[in-house]
A and B are shown apart, each in its own frame.
Chain A
């Protein structure tokens, strides 16, 4: 259990190359002891690289790694006392399930009684009791992944548990249960849990804090609601939320106003220091309201399509050649006609060069 700090960490897999392409651009990050984090980002953005740097499988090309203020950058993986679960099951095929689960404890010379008790506990939490004596190589893919998870959870003195998309190979039913179980285990032992995923639902329901990454950089760190309400960049707006945030090309009009397609929108953002004439207005489809009469902050859009998604309706409309998506309650009638859409000022985010103002 430890506070983990990454100071000016950067990594390139090919540092000798002339144009050393960073897999991770220089960044700072602090993981609070006992926190439950999710790293979210598209494939290839450097999530695995970041985890591997923390566990010591990859030596960062630049920067320092501190556990509880002690520099561990040069320490080997085993000396860091960290647990990591990979995306695909890794099992020790020549050992039984029980020996697999006990291996991290045996390697670190835990007492026999402790080992037996911990293995029982973890096997219980993951419903593996019936398989303990079986050879690990004879199991199905999700059972194997449960063992990988179990090996990651069997030590409760670790600095952090790192999980790299651990539930990819597990079917949805079990996935849901396991995610809850992981959450409970984290609450019980208060060990730092860092969970990589590219599924935003998983991240939103699981984590206290989400780290959104793109192209080797951390774009935003925040709670699920912060990411939802005020995405720091248009990328986060696109990436988080279903459907993605609505963005409109617009022009600067006043200290709090922007305009597009002849409509003027008042926002709560102070735009007086903005030099850029063209901006982007972002608003979540959940916050756009369909109103009877045009008034302040309304646009007149043409409805194209209404989809019933079970829990709600998704309305696709067009205004000024730009698409608008609106989420409305299931029972609301939406005409396939021109409608007035209201943009509540406090939910409008304004972006200059893709960055939130």
Chain B
């Protein structure tokens, strides 16, 4: 019985691992192939099945004029827009969440929970609904096809996530912490940044991780709101899928685009598994 259970468990886990890892292996192996190895039937193992080459990777920073695909600029654009959007969202979102958690707002029938819901409701609508209004508004402010325009849109998309996570987090931070800080001689702002904020770093890290993931993986808005001047990585990668698809460069670019997320997940996982998230207070 115990043995059967163990076997079954490992079987399920193994199948799941294959399911998750296989696309990566496929992309890694393809990225080292050339035109010949891709088109002449399925091959799997380098040096045995096909002769590996670094051409697919080199093409990533060669200009199209020299036969490359050049995703260096879109890569850094993406990093810049995602980080800036996430940073501002976390900053504003944390402040908003603290206010929503600690102070009581009343405007007619509107209460704190309604305001929190308003933030989250921004993410309930299908993105398509927002695309046209965003397009028109950015057009009015001449922000279409600019990094700044994308950052503004990303803040709108990411801040609800930050507010949502942080309201929940602050609600779990006992009010007595703030009150004690006030008694110990802080004014309300000092109480926030000297006492509450340092205790909230785990929450901020989680919120930041979600912002980075959602920002980084967005394709839809960067596709709609940019044309020629500015290009983000997801759009640049999809653009590679032209009439003669360079599968090797496409695979390499895809791997490059997941790499930062894997790095983030790795760092955060390390941090969370040290038990830093729970037991920060009390």
Contacts and interface: CB of A to CB of B under 8 A. Distances in A.
Interface of A: 55-57, 76-78, 81-84, 86, 88-90, 92-94, 103-104, 107-108, 137, 148, 151
B279 interface: yes
Given A90-B176, A107-B190, A137 B182 contact: no
A86 B176 contact: yes
Nearest to A110: B185
A260 B186 CA distance: 62
Interface residues of B, number: 21
A187 to B, nearest CB: 23
Nearest to B198: A94
A78 B176 contact: no
Contact of A77 (B179, B199, B201, B281): B179
Contacts of B281: 93, 137
Question: Which residue of B177, B185, B186, B281 has the most chain A CB atoms within 10 A of its CB atom?
Answer: B185
Interface string B255-282: 0000000000000000000000001111
A331 B222 CA distance: 92
A88 B280 contact: no
A90 B173 CA distance: 11
A78 B279 contact: no
The majority secondary structure among interface residues of chain B is: helix
B88 interface: no
Contacts of B180: 84, 86, 90, 148, 151
Contact of B184 (A56, A76, A93, A103): A103
A93 B280 contact: yes
B183 A83 contact: yes
Contact of A90 (B177, B185, B186, B280): B177
Interface string B180-215: 111111110010000100110100000000000000
A92 B195 contact: yes
B174 interface: yes
Contact of B185 (A56, A84, A94, A104): A104
Question: Which residue of B179, B187, B198 has the most chain A CB atoms within 10 A of its CB atom?
Answer: B179
Nearest to B184: A104
Question: Which residue of A78, A84, A103, A151 has the most chain B CB atoms within 10 A of its CB atom?
Answer: A78
Sort A-B residue pairs by CB-CB distance and give the 5 closest, nearest first.
A107-B185, A104-B184, A77-B182, A94-B198, A108-B185
Contact of B280 (A55, A56, A84, A137): A137
Nearest to A81: B185
Contact of B183 (A82, A89, A94): A82
A151 B180 CA distance: 9
Contacts of B280: 93, 137
Contacts of B195: 92
A55 B179 CA distance: 10
A86 B182 CA distance: 13
A107 B180 CA distance: 12
Contacts of B199: 92-94
A148 B179 CA distance: 12
Nearest to B197: A94
Contact of A107 (B174, B184, B279): B184
Contacts of A89: 282
Contacts of A108: 185
16 contacts: A77-B179, A77-B183, A78-B184, A84-B180, A88-B176, A89-B282, A90-B179, A92-B177, A92-B181, A107-B184, A107-B186, A137-B279, A137-B280, A137-B281, A148-B180, A151-B180
